[in-house]
Amino acid sequence: MENTGFFFISQLFWFIFLFMLIMPILQAQMLQWSRERILKAIEDIYGSKVITLIHRQETRSLFGFFMMRMITIEDSEAVLRAIRMTPKDKPIDFIVHTPGGIALAATQIAKALADHPAKVRVIVPHFAMSGGTLIALAADEIVIDKHAVLGPVDPQLGTEPAASLVAIEKLKDPKDIDDQTLVKIDMSKKALKQMYDTVVNLLVKKGHPLEKAQTIAEELSQGKYTHDFPITVEHLQQLGLNVSTDMPEEVYALMDLYPQPTGIPAVQYLPEPVRRPEAVKK
The per-residue pLDDT for 174 is: 85
Per-residue pLDDT at 64: 39
pLDDT tens sequence for the chain (282 residues)? 556 655 566 666 666 767 666 766 766 677 788 889 999 999 999 999 999 999 974 444 444 344 557 899 999 999 999 999 999 999 999 999 999 999 999 999 999 999 999 999 999 999 999 999 999 999 999 999 999 999 999 999 988 999 999 999 989 988 899 999 999 999 999 999 999 999 999 999 999 999 999 999 999 999 999 999 999 999 999 999 999 999 999 999 999 888 654 556 677 788 777 555 454 444
pLDDT at res. 263: 59
pLDDT recorded at residue 30 = 77
pLDDT for 158 equals 87
Q: Which backbone phi and psi does 159 adopt, to 5 degrees? A: -100, 5
Strand 92-97, strand 149-150: pairing: unpaired
Please provide the size of the chain in residues: 282
Question: Which amino acid type is present at position 248?
Answer: P
CA within 13 Å, CB half, 190: 7
Amino acid 124: pLDDT: 98
In this structure, are strands 243-244 and 141-144 parallel, antiparallel, or unpaired?
Answer: parallel
Determine the pLDDT at residue 223: 96
Give the β-pairing of 156-157 and 160-161: antiparallel
